[in-house]
Amino acid sequence: MIKIFQTGQAGSTKYLFDMHKVRTKIFRDRMKWDVHVNDMELEVDEYDLPNTVYILSLDENEKVTGTWRFLTTSEPSMIENIWPQYLDTLPIPKSGTMCETSRFGVYSENESICERKKTVNAVTAEMIVALIKVCIMCGITDMFTLYDIKIKKLLDKIGFTPIETSEIINLEGKATLTARFKMDQALLDAVQKHVNIDVLITPNVLPPVLLEKFLENQNEEKAVRYA
Amino acid sequence: MPNEIPEEYLFTKNMISNISDKEELIQCLGKVITLLGLIDSSCQSREWDTEASVVRSSAVELLDLVQKLVEKKLLEAA
């Protein structure tokens, strides 16, 4: 099940806590990243802002298994602030209709490697489909993100292919790049053809910051239709 | 209302008004999340229904303060 929310949204605090705790387990404990973890064991950084949107995948007990963070590029950008070297070959325009995603991770406590792999694949597919749908609904045209090139094969396999990438840069011993994805129906069709899943996203599940964009997008579409 | 909530609220509000760098911003964001957690878990236990929505709104206003601060910093940097 997909849950989309922003900090402070009524009824979402338990997911907010669970998400920050899961991020501690994924990024500090498993990936060994040097991240800020506070005394409540919550991994929080300066991009967890009030306007930040979180796309979560929840299991049958409503526990967070997948997390993905989303900020429009008009908000502070991790790539620009921390790794500006990628911008030389792939600039990121400041825009309220483009986004940057980060902190993608899947967490499973299943001891079987086979079951964990299944969870990772299912949750990844679910979150990608949800993100593309949200972007289409809200008029977000492009998504930028940074990843290890080892992920490229997996993304190609599920049809989630960027339209543009930066040069490959060695980041802490890993070959990485930033990529730009065109968030449109063609990309959604390509992914769904491979993963064969659908996620129902309706306006009432959008957090305020995205609902506003959805309504603006609706008005713009109407204006174009009647022009 | 549990005593710790007004204390945490005032402490967090004061922290926000004194943010001057990235580290302090991160601490404040963590504090607001903690405050929301305290409020929401107390609301669920129905200890103080009548005050809950007012206090929660105040905590959400702290988020607005943080957002405005970040936007101001962004404008200054542009």
DSSP state of A87: G
Per-residue pLDDT of chain B (78 residues; tens, 9 = 90+): 677 788 888 888 888 888 888 888 999 999 999 888 888 887 766 666 666 677 788 888 888 888 888 888 776 776
CA B23 and chain centroid, separation: 16
User: How does pLDDT run across A24-67, given as a tens digit for each residue?
Assistant: 999 999 999 999 999 999 999 999 999 999 999 999 999 999 99
* Contacts (Cβ under 8 Å, ≥6 apart) of A26: A67, A105, A106, A107
The mean pLDDT value for A18-26 works out to: 97
Q: Which of A129-133, A144-148, B37-41 has the lowest mean pLDDT?
A: B37-41
The token duo for B10 is 């005032």
pLDDT number for residue B45? 67
User: pLDDT band for position A10 (50/70/90)?
Assistant: confident
User: pLDDT band for position A175 (50/70/90)?
Assistant: very high
Neighbours of A29 (CB within 10 A): 13
Q: Is the dihedral of CA B35, B38, B41, B44 positive or negative?
A: negative
Compute the distance between CA of residue A73 and CA of residue B34 in angstroms, rounded to an integer: 27
Residues of chain B in contact with residue A44, where contact means CB-CB under 8 angstroms, are 26, 29-30, 33
Neighbours of A55 (CB within 10 A): 24
User: Nearest CB to B67: which of A13, A42, A51?
Assistant: A51
The rounded mean pLDDT for chain A is: 94
DSSP state of A37: B
- What ipTM does the predicted assembly reach? 0.83
Alpha carbon dihedral A198, A202, A207, A212, in 10-degree steps, equals 120
CB-facing half-sphere around the CA of A225: CA atoms within 13 A = 6
Q: Would you call A100 an interface residue with chain B, using a CB distance cutoff of 8 Å?
A: no
pTM: predicted TM-score of the whole model, two decimal places:
0.92
The mean pLDDT value for A64-77 works out to: 96
- Compute CA distances A101 → A215, B9, B51, whole Å: 22, 31, 37
* Contacts (Cβ under 8 Å, ≥6 apart) of A157: A194
By CA distance, what is B61's nearest residue in A? A8
State the greatest distance between any 2 C-alpha atoms of chain B, in Å, as a whole number.
Answer: 47
